[in-house]
Chain A
Amino acid sequence: MNASFLCQYRHLAMAVATVVVLPLVLTSGSLATEVLIFALAALGCNLLLGYTGLMSFGQGIFLGLGSYAAGLALLHLRIPLIAVLPLAMIVGALAAALVGWFSIRQRGTYFVMLTLAFAQMFYFLAYTLRDITGGDNGLLDIPRPPLEILGQRLLPTAGPWEYYTLVAVVFVVVFWVLQRIVDSILGRTLLAVRDNEARAAAAGYDVRMLKLIAFMISGAITGLAGALHAMLTGIAPLSNIEYGTSESILIMTVIGGTGKLFASVLGAGFYVLVGDWLSTLWPRWLMLLGMLLIAVSLFMQKGLWGVGTGLLQRVRRQGRADDTATQRSAAYD
């Protein structure tokens, strides 16, 4: 039983391992937290691109709205943390329903263009409604309340590693839920839509509805990531809802590799950690990222995950070849 269980939850095990290893190798708690937050956003993007075949340039909408929702709720309503996270998910899912309802009516390239157009629309909306969003300045001084249920303090969040613990728990739970979704009938049907939309429609599936569901799940996860990000940095800046954020989330997902859950964690980790390191050396490091994206499109379409599994396979094959070689020489002896 154990072997098949491990095999089925291989990706979840790797996610848990990541959560445990990050504090051991990183000295900055907020950097480790950022990795997990963007991993969540990349997972949401992967569900669309890797499992449903939808390339969305609008993930920044949901991240930004999640940030704003959390910021406004914490600043003005002072609602507890345990309620802020579901609120951000609902906001993300509703925005995704709206954007998705418009965009999913179109297919392929048209869909891609619409998601970017909507990303710009929400950016200008946030920019225009400066009474609510703070415009260029964003929302400032967002508090980070401890995790409490019915007045019982479960987890303090003031310190960076304390907050990391909270985000880590959320991350693992979301990863587990996503794994369940991907392995469910819904997940398999989404794959059918990705591989051959016409056929899935002919088989009687409501393709638009399926895409919309995937879009809403993705929006909810990304909104959650946005709320966690707002509480991490204490601000909900305009840049969270910019095109640049949408682009970064997509790039993380693609660099990690699509269609495999843990690949998104790899991609986000790579993006955030390498970005953190390079940006201190050279402010124009995004140029290298652009080159990497070109290289991924040209040579390694399966991303870092594909490179990793490819290497692993080569090592295994090598090992097997060595084994047979020694067996042969043993037989001759």
Chain B
Amino acid sequence: MNIYLLQIINGIGIGMLYFLMAVGLSIVFGLLGFVNFAHGAFFLLGAYACYQFALAGLDYWLALVLAPVIVGGFAWITEKAFLHRIYKLPHEFHILLTVGVALVLQEAVILQWGIVGQNVAVPEALEGVLILGQFVYPKYRIFVIAFTAVIALLLWCLLDKTRLGAIVRAGSESTEMVSLLGIHVTRIFSFVFALGGATAGLAGVLAAPLRGVEPFMGVEALGIAFVVVVIGGMGSFAGALASGLLVGVVQSLMSTLWPEGARLMIFVAMAAVMLLRPNGLFGRT
């Protein structure tokens, strides 16, 4: 099979994970008005939760369901215990607080599981490759693409079609007005922060069998999620999807053409988009 086609499909898989990271960041930003620097740490927790489930001999599918719930719970506690108290302060302090939370979580991961990276086995049912005539491709990667597509659809429905989604969207326009309408905005804040954490955790679980786990993968994922958001345009669902895929495919193709520079090219792509469209591909001007 053509190596480039293979890399493009690989890129779509990675890109869907980047999209999942970016969309959580984007929802939280839209409502709360600051970037969550602990987002990468939530991704890290999700990945290590997957590793721990595998270590304990538990099913991957259990991890897929439970890990996002656990990580979402962590996010919810972070919001309730800390962020909740300082919404009145400038956004700098919200960012710093999440930086602090990220540092604590990262060090806790090192304390618990060590600083050395580990491999995570692909779940049994998805081992091996899918063969369709000329087309040969690992089953797990196909699963990641299909599963994240379903999650993307669900998230879109949640945000676009439900009453809750309408409240969240209205809250990003004017929090004050929404709370004047008699809606408990603080509860919505907690929910959205937890939802953002859960999506990052889910991305972590899905990524763990692809790339293994190591304590610094959170920071790396955070950087890439920022790039995706910057390229796609802040607060745009379609933008996050398009730029997630773009970044994934660029990284994947470049890893064939110029392996050392694959990561670098992601950021070059960002600079190029910044030059041509400062507000991102789908950003509102």
Contact = CB atoms under 8 A, between A and B. Distances in A.
A106 interface: yes
Given A117-B227, A128-B260, A291-B104, A284 B35 contact: no
Interface in B90-106: 91-97, 99-104, 106
Interface in B80-123: 82, 85-86, 89, 91-97, 99-104, 106-108, 110-111
Contacts, number: 116
Interface stretch (B53-61, B175-183, B198-206, B267-275): B267-275
Contacts of A294: 82, 97, 100-101, 104
A244 to B, nearest CB: 8
A284 B230 contact: no
B34 interface: yes
Contact of B226 (A117, A291, A296): A117
Contacts of A112: 35, 95
B102 A297 contact: no
A47 to B, nearest CB: 15
Contact of A116 (B104, B107, B226): B226
Interface string A70-109: 0000000000000000000000000000000010011011
Contacts of B264: 121, 124-125, 127-128
B190 to A, nearest CB: 17
B230 A121 contact: no
A167 to B, nearest CB: 28
B203 to A, nearest CB: 18
A296 B96 CA distance: 9
A284 B222 CA distance: 21
Contacts of B271: 102, 121
Interface string B255-272: 000001101100110110
A219 B260 CA distance: 27
Contact of B263 (A124, A130, A254): A124
A298 B104 contact: no
Nearest to A105: B278
A293 B97 contact: yes
Interface string A283-321: 010110111111011100100000000000000000000
- How many interface residues does chain B have, given as a range? 35 or more
B230 A110 contact: yes
A297 B270 contact: no
Contacts of A106: 278
Given A294-B97, A298-B86, A287 B219 contact: no
Contacts of B91: 108-109
Contact of B222 (A110, A116, A118, A128): A116
Contacts of A287: 103-104, 107-108, 111
B69 interface: no
Contacts of B97: 293-294, 297-298
B226 A113 contact: yes
Nearest to B234: A110
Considering residues B33, B111, B267, which has the most beta carbons from chain A within 10 angstroms of its beta carbon? Answer: B267
A21 to B, nearest CB: 29
Interface in B226-270: 226-227, 229-230, 234, 260-261, 263-264, 267-268, 270
Contacts of B99: 247, 250-251, 290, 293
B30 to A, nearest CB: 11
Which of A113, A128, A247 has most B Cβ within 10 Å?
A: A113
A124 B263 CA distance: 7
A116 B110 contact: no
A114 interface: yes
Contacts of A124: 261, 263-264, 267
B29 interface: yes
A293 B100 contact: yes
Contacts of A284: 107, 110-111
B138 interface: no
Nearest to B231: A117
Interface string A227-269: 0000000000000000110010011001000000000000000
B100 A290 contact: yes
Contact of B29 (A109, A247, A286): A109
Contacts of B263: 124, 127
Nearest to B275: A102
A198 to B, nearest CB: 15
B34 to A, nearest CB: 6
B223 interface: yes
B217 to A, nearest CB: 12
B83 to A, nearest CB: 9
Contacts of B33: 109
A35 interface: no
24 contacts: A49-B92, A55-B95, A106-B278, A108-B91, A109-B29, A109-B91, A109-B95, A112-B35, A112-B95, A114-B230, A116-B226, A117-B226, A117-B230, A119-B223, A124-B267, A128-B264, A243-B223, A247-B99, A290-B107, A293-B96, A294-B97, A296-B96, A297-B97, A301-B93
